[in-house]
Amino acid sequence: MRQAAERIAPHIHRTPVQRCSHLEELAGCELFFKCEMFQRTGSFKFRGASNAALKVGADAGRRGLVTHSSGNHGQALAAAGRLIGAPVYVVMPSTASAFKRRAIEGYGATVVPCEWTAQSRLSILAEVAERTGGVVIPPYDHPDIIAGQGTAALELLAEVRDLDALIAPVGGGGLISGVAVATHGLNAAIRVIGAEPQQADDAFRSKQSGRREAATDGPTIADGLRAGLGELTWPIVRDHVERVICVGEEEILAAMRLLWERAKLMVEPSSAVALAAVLSEEFQRMPNRPQRIGVCLSGGNVDLDHLPW
């Protein structure tokens, strides 16, 4: 992971860590927000995408980079493709946000529409990869993606000492897996906690059952977290994430609004899930509740024409 950090350092932003006394009073603990909405392309995804693209290299990259995404990963890979001069093809559900599609196209990528289902995404992804000869870079279930995402935790732990816990949103598991590997590689005593919408709770169910559970397709405002855990991310979540806290839609919206109004941090709903978990009753009742917590705010790509309040 340190090699990933060195590889991407010239290309990424070292994002700031912010605090907010009002939110700390509400939570009853110290909160250190790792602000990945200030990362290039507006989310942590650029870390993993740039690491994967740079490892592919310019020669292989000339054939192109291919992925599927409903938003942030597509933007990140489109921008990362520019680092190696590679064309980028993003298979994207036709029902996904038009705002996010415009952003992906704005970075120069070609968007290929598909249906929302995983089967449609993967079958069209395979067609595009075969037609172009491009290298497939999946959104989360890839070692270079996981390593890149974990660099956010390396930065946070280098800046803030003596944390008791880190909490991050869980979708496909790329971020939480990278955070867990980086954190426990430095200090196995730091607790790693996941945060997930109740409407997309496969990581919570997987932790309960001890096996990787299928993702549900329930509607949630945190649409970036609807993906299911991958073959690579699930074992890391199983072994290194203490627990996954699920929060409801109203809790997510309230946390998002608090971050906007009180901390002046413009996050997207998927990002607000982490704060919602910290403010939840489950977190407050935890045995030996952590007192110094790093909170990964994963991104800030919000469609301002369709705000949720």
**Distance between CA atoms of 6 and 271, rounded to whole angstroms?**
26
Would residue 308 be called left, alpha or beta, if left means φ above 0 and alpha means ψ between -120 and 50 degrees? alpha
Please enumerate in sequence order all residues whose Cβ is within 8 A of that of 299, keeping only pairs 6 or more positions apart, or say none.
Answer: 36, 37, 39, 42, 43, 44, 45, 72, 224, 267, 268, 270, 271
Please, which residues bridge with residue 292 across strands? 30
Q: Are 221 and 200 in contact (CB under 8 A)?
A: no
Residue 99 CA: distances (Å) to CA of 75, 129, 305: 11, 25, 9
Q: Are 222 and 230 in contact (CB under 8 A)?
A: no
| Tokens read off for 113 | 């529409």
Read off φ and ψ for residue 38, nearest 5 degrees: -95, 5
Query: Is 120 annotated as catalytic?
Result: no
34, 43, 45, 97: the catalytic one is 45
**Distance between CA atoms of 259 and 276, rounded to whole angstroms?**
10
Q: Is 66 helix (H, G, I), strand (E, B) or coil?
A: strand
Q: Are 179 and 240 in contact (CB under 8 A)?
A: no
Query: Is 34 annotated as catalytic?
Result: no
**Distance between CA atoms of 81 and 40, rounded to whole angstroms?**
13
43, 70, 206, 271: the catalytic one is 70
Any alpha helices (H) in 160-232, and if so which ranges?
Answer: 174-186, 202-209
Amino acid at residue number 262: R
| Tokens read off for 286 | 């935890």
**Distance between CA atoms of 250 and 50, rounded to whole angstroms?**
34
- The residues assigned a catalytic role are 45, 70
